[in-house]
Amino acid sequence: MTASTHAAHLAQLNVATLRHPFDDPRVAPFVEMLEPVNAAADSAPGFVWRLVEEGAADATGLRPAGEDVIVNLSVWETPEALWDFAYRSGHLEVMRRRREWFERHVEAHLVLWWVPAGHVPTVDEALERLADLQAHGPSARAFTFASSYTAAEAAIEAEAEAVQHLQAAPPTQPEAIN
Amino acid sequence: MRRRLYEYVAAQGREVGRNEAAQATGVARTLAAHHLDRLAEAGLLESGSRRLTGRSGPGAGRPAKVYTRARAERSVSLPARDYRTAAELLAEAAEQAGLDAGLCAAARRRGEALRGSAAPCGDLEQAMEMLAARGYEPHLEGVEGASGAAADVVRMRNCPFHAVAERFPPLVCGMNLALLEGLLGTDGPVHARMDARPGNCCVVVESSKNNDD
């Protein structure tokens, strides 16, 4: 059964490579903004969930994508809700100053995808979506704000892929080679 | 004069008659009518007719002409120019190359050049004038300060860089802030800072003494 549109939520992952160690004074303004900005996220309209390290207030201590790479993983009711928080709240000030603290990424560093409402995405799942976007460009499986897909489009594509997979399942597994 | 008439009509948010517009801007009625019609011809205003007296029928007299601001975003360019595509391509390249700092430095210099005078902007009223002249549609908003005292901030209804800002928010909003910092000055009586909200320009302007609370 395909998930109906209203039962889908939008998951987002972004990765950012620190220019300096997290406790370096040059990163301090970013660290100071974490608490108010995370609090703003938690009370933002349409916010559902964000990744937090056990026993911590945020996920900056988790480094699943590399020792100097911090990750931000969250779920929102709609793309508009995420957009308004990311670019129309105090979070924009963090974004504006991103070059002071983070390396410029050559590859995609933000990925969006649809999840069934109630599903809590894992870090592995999120990193797979980012790798998908980096390898194949935007699709209904993994996209960006500039190349957005609806939950209905994602459901159709997922179904088509499942059918394809069933038909072409036995002979090869090309993805595993790389 | 034409700008004053346009701004008056735009600021009312309702239909405005020729008499009212003439009186409000201190222009003779026939001259106001001429300029209002020219603005309507240019597509900046929409015109219609209405019996302002509320009477109808043969004895009610000729309907009066009324004006409202046109809703659509307009740009007129003769000969045809396409700066929007150029802006989007330059922004895309700047985003990919991580040129935020260079762009902001250029924006700050431009803001300073636009200000012209060496002195920073003197107060919020002057800031409102400067922002209005650049299309930001500023308005005063009262906010409760930390000490409980009411202070005013200037918010702006219009983002002059809307289309590009929507595509590259951190880059273009950062550029916009730097431009306004250059325009108003950073160490004078007023300063600009980022305070993004849905539906508004991402920057507010406030008195610098607010920070001493």
> For the segment A116-143, what is each residue's pLDDT rounded down to a tens digit?
999 999 999 999 999 999 999 999 999 9
Across the interface, which of B101, B174, B198 has its CB nearest the CB of A88? B198
Sheet holding B190-194, edge to edge: B138-144, B150-156, B203-207, B190-194
Q: Closest CB to A99: pick one of B100, B194, B199.
A: B100
Could B98 and A84 be called an inter-chain contact, meaning their C-beta atoms sit closer than 8 Å? no
pLDDT band (50, 70, 90) for residue A160: confident
A107 lies in a domain? yes
Task: State residue A96's pLDDT score.
Answer: 94
Would you list which residues of chain A are within 8 Å, Cβ to Cβ, of chain B?
84, 86-90, 92-93, 95-96, 98-99, 104, 146
Contact between chains at B169 and A90 (C-beta distance less than 8 A): no
Residue of B nearest to A94 (CA): B170
- CA distance readout (Å), B139 to A36, B6, B103, B117, B128: 27, 17, 28, 24, 7
Is the residue at A109 inside a domain?
Answer: yes
- Kindly give the parts of chain B with pLDDT less than 70: 13, 52-61, 71-72, 144-150, 210-213
The pLDDT mean for chain B works out to 87
Sorting pLDDT into bands at 50, 70 and 90, what band is A59?
A: very high
Domain span at A26: 5-173
Q: How far is CA A121 from the centre of its chain?
A: 10
**What pLDDT, on a 0 to 100 scale, did the predictor assign at position B1?**
84
Of B167, B174, B196, the CB nearest to A88: B196
Q: Give B98 to chain A, closest Cα distance, Å.
A: 6
Q: What is the pLDDT of residues A6-49, one digit of tens each?
A: 589 999 999 999 999 999 999 999 999 999 999 999 999 999 99
- Write down the pLDDT at residue A100: 94
- Find the length of chain A: 178
pLDDT at B212 (0 to 100): 47
The pLDDT of residue B150? 65
pLDDT at A105: 83
Who among B97, B98, B197 is closest to A88 (CB)?
Answer: B197
> How many Å apart are CA B110 and CA B178, to the nearest integer?
9
Interface with B, mutate which of A83, A96, A98, A148 (most B CBs under 10 A): A96
Structural tokens at position A56: 């911590």
Q: Output the domain CATH number for residue A23.
A: 3.30.70.100
Tokens 């549609």 correspond to: B137
CB of B169 less than 8 A from some CB of A: yes
Does residue A141 fall inside a structural domain?
A: yes
Task: Tell me what pLDDT residue B62 has.
Answer: 73
Q: The complex's ipTM? A: 0.81
Q: Is B173 on the interface with A (CB under 8 A)?
A: yes
Q: Which of B95, B100, B175, B180 to mutate to test the interface with A (most CBs of A within 10 A)?
A: B100
The pLDDT tens digits of the residues spanning A67-125 come to 999 999 999 999 999 999 999 999 999 999 999 999 988 888 999 999 999 999 999 99
Domains and CATH numbers, chain B: 2-69 (1.10.10.10), 83-212 (3.30.1380)
Q: List the Cα angle B172/B203/B198 in 5-degree steps.
A: 85
State pTM to two decimals. 0.75
Residue A178: inside a domain: no
